[in-house]
């Protein structure tokens, strides 16, 4: 599909495209913004290279797509609370986001999109994988689609604590500089049931809505849910549904959580990585 005001170059067959000809530090005119928005819908995740952004400039760009979804467990920057710092120091061993997931799936209105801006990256490693959930749904048999149509997944934001392990605050304490952890999400709902097959509100396409936050199917036990959940989680991230992005300082990625999953690869121990993350507010999945 042609774009008149920007250069869009796909990076893989399944999803993902790099966009040239845009300076995100400057306000986008309506034609350019519409083209970027269309590229996001067409390619599911878009990437911009060589950007120089202040937190406020990143926030201005993010707000063109909607309101800001605040993370229920992690505080934002002191002077820009809408931006969550994701920092792994050279001595840290835990990698934030190192499981296939869709951001904030455990909330009542999950994040529509996520914008991640690279402030510092390791010399090698630290790539992010993305998976196309339209393709994951389309590849299922008609009989499987019929069986899954009425199911809802129950997702949990602090699943390790629920299972009797440490809470997020306890797990990150002393091991990450990613941002001060909130001990209590307050009145934010962090356990939610959503349709396993959701309809994208802008494209009208059906997508497999699953990720690591999904613990079981609603009105089923863990044991009853486990075999089908395991199959779907594996199926959803088949190699032919994915792309891989190699970061550089000044790169910005923006992905659609309604039809993708992503995975942060933690293969850079001994090196520092700093990212600034904004999540865009979403709607109730249907």
Query: Could you write out the DSSP letters of every residue in the chain?
Result: ---SSSEEEE-SSSS-EEEES--TTSPPPHHHHHHHHHHHHHHSEEEE-S----HHHHHHHHHTT-PEEPPSSB--BTTBTTSEEEEE-TT----TT-S-B-TTTTSSS--SEEEEEEEE--SS---EEEEEHHHHHHTS-HHHHHHHTT-EEEEETTHHHHTTS--HHHHHTTT--S-PBPS--TT---EEEEESEEE-TTT--EEE---TTEEEETTS-HHHHHHHHHHHHHHHT-GGGEEEE---TT-EEEEETTSEEEEE----TTS-EEEEEEEE------
Within a domain: 285:
no
Domain count, the chain: 1
pTM: 0.91
Is 235 noted as a catalytic residue in this protein? no
Domain membership of residue 46 as a residue range: 7-280
Active-site residue (options: 43, 69, 71, 101): 101
Q: Is residue 235 part of a domain?
A: yes
Q: Which of 92, 103, 158, 256 is catalytic?
A: 103
Residue 1 lies inside a defined structural domain of this protein? no
Confidence (pLDDT) at 2: 72
Q: State the pLDDT at residue 4.
A: 84
pLDDT at position 46 = 98
Residue stretches of the chain with pLDDT short of 50:
160-176
> Which pLDDT score, from 0 to 100, does residue 233 have?
98
Evaluate whether residue 286 is within a structural domain: no
* 2 inside domain: no
Q: Of the listed 258, 262, 273, 276, which one is catalytic?
A: 262
Q: What CATH number corresponds to the domain at position 239? A: 3.60.130.10
262 part of the active site: yes
């Amino acid at each position: 599909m042609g774009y008149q005001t920007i250069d869009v170059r796909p990076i893989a067959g399944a999803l993902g495209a790099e966009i040239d000809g845009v300076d995100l530090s400057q306000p986008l005119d309506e034609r350019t913004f519409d083209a970027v928005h269309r590229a996001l819908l067409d390619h599911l995740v878009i990437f911009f290279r060589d950007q120089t952004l202040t937190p406020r400039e990143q926030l201005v760009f993010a707000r063109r797509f909607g309101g800001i979804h605040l993370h229920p467990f992690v505080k934002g920057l002191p002077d820009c609370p809408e931006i969550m710092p994701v920092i792994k120091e050279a001595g840290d061993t835990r990698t934030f986001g190192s499981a296939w997931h869709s951001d904030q799936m455990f909330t009542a209105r999950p994040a529509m999109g996520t914008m991640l801006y690279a402030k510092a990256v390791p010399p090698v490693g630290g790539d992010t994988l993305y998976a196309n959930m339209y393709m994951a749904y389309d590849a299922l048999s008609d009989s499987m689609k019929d069986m899954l149509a009425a199911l809802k997944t129950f997702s949990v934001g602090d699943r390790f604590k629920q299972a009797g392990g440490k809470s997020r605050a306890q797990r990150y304490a002393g091991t990450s500089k990613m941002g001060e952890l909130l001990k209590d999400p307050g009145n934010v709902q962090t356990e939610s049931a959503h349709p396993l097959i959701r309809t994208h509100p802008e494209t009208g396409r059906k997508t497999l809505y699953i990720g690591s936050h999904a613990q079981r199917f609603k009105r089923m036990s863990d044991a009853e849910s486990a075999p089908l959940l395991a199959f779907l989680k594996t199926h959803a991230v088949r190699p032919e549904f994915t792309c891989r992005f190699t970061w550089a300082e000044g790169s910005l990625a923006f992905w659609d959580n309604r039809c993708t999953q992503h995975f942060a690869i933690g293969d850079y121990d001994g090196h520092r990585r700093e990212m600034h993350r904004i999540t865009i507010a979403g709607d109730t999945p249907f």
